[in-house]
């Protein structure tokens, strides 16, 4: 009896498995508290949220679409899907990163302040990223840029030395390729 070493009566943590990133699309009833249910689930069970976007997509049916980018081991990712599916207002959960690769985009607004060479460089860079100028003063730009997450990251990091002031991003929205709906 005295040979016991550990001082907890819970099983030890399992071996660390490979962590993967997934983009989940969750179709929910747009009712009060639905987002709190989803976020509360992630917070309460210790799941990660890398990005989350939500908007009503079918007004007559009051359905909202939530796009969540999350990370976890394959077992945890399966849990996340099942736990989401278990919520009463959740209609469907689709893993967009499984099977055929989906299209994922986000939109960023990027404010840059500067004059002279930096300002010109910022405008050139914006052009190469197909960013639009949506606000302009003699000493600043606000660019609107759309793309995959790594493109946005790249755009922002290249703007950094050119007088980056602030960034506002939507987070990822995603949709499957091809003719089929979710």
Residues contributing to the site for other proteins (CB under 8 A): 1, 4, 6-12, 14-15, 28-29, 32-33, 36-37, 40, 44, 75, 78-79, 82-83, 85-86, 88-91
Residue 85 or 139 having the CB closest to other proteins: 85
- The half-sphere exposure of 43 on its side-chain side, counting CA atoms within 13 A, is 6
Cα–Cα distance measured from residue 5 to residue 8, given in angstroms and rounded to the nearest whole number: 9
Q: CA 7, 10, 13: angle at the middle one, nearest 5?
A: 100
Residue 14 or 181 having the CB closest to other proteins: 14
Residue 89 or 171 having the CB closest to other proteins: 89
Least distance from other proteins to the Cβ atom of residue 175, Å: 21
Cα–Cα distance measured from residue 51 to residue 38, given in angstroms and rounded to the nearest whole number: 13
Cα–Cα distance measured from residue 133 to residue 51, given in angstroms and rounded to the nearest whole number: 25
Q: Strand 51-58's sheet: what is its strand order? A: 51-58, 63-72, 20-29, 90-95
Residue 10 or 59 having the CB closest to other proteins: 10
Least distance from other proteins to the Cβ atom of residue 90, Å: 6
Cα–Cα distance measured from residue 76 to residue 21, given in angstroms and rounded to the nearest whole number: 11
Residue 15 or 59 having the CB closest to other proteins: 15
Least distance from other proteins to the Cβ atom of residue 29, Å: 6
- Residue 133 near residue 123, CB atoms below 8 Å: yes
Least distance from other proteins to the Cβ atom of residue 102, Å: 22
Least distance from other proteins to the Cβ atom of residue 147, Å: 33
């Amino acid at each position: 009896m005295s040979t016991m070493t550990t001082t907890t009566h819970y099983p030890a943590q399992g071996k660390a498995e490979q962590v993967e990133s997934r983009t989940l699309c969750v179709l929910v009833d747009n009712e009060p508290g639905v987002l709190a249910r989803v976020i509360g689930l992630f917070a309460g069970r210790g799941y990660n949220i890398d990005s989350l976007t939500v908007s009503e997509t079918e007004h007559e049916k009051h359905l909202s679409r939530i796009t969540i980018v999350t990370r976890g081991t394959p077992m945890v990712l399966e849990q996340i899907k099942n736990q989401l599916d278990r919520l009463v207002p959740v209609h469907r959960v689709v893993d967009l990163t499984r099977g055929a690769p989906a299209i994922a985009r986000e939109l960023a607004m990027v404010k840059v302040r500067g004059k002279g060479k930096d300002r010109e460089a910022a405008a050139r860079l914006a052009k190469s990223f197909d960013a639009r100028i949506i606000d302009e003063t003699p000493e600043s730009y606000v660019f609107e840029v759309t793309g995959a997450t790594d493109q946005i990251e790249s755009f922002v990091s290249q703007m950094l030395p050119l007088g980056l002031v602030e960034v506002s991003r939507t987070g990822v929205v995603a949709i499957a390729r091809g003719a089929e709906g979710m």
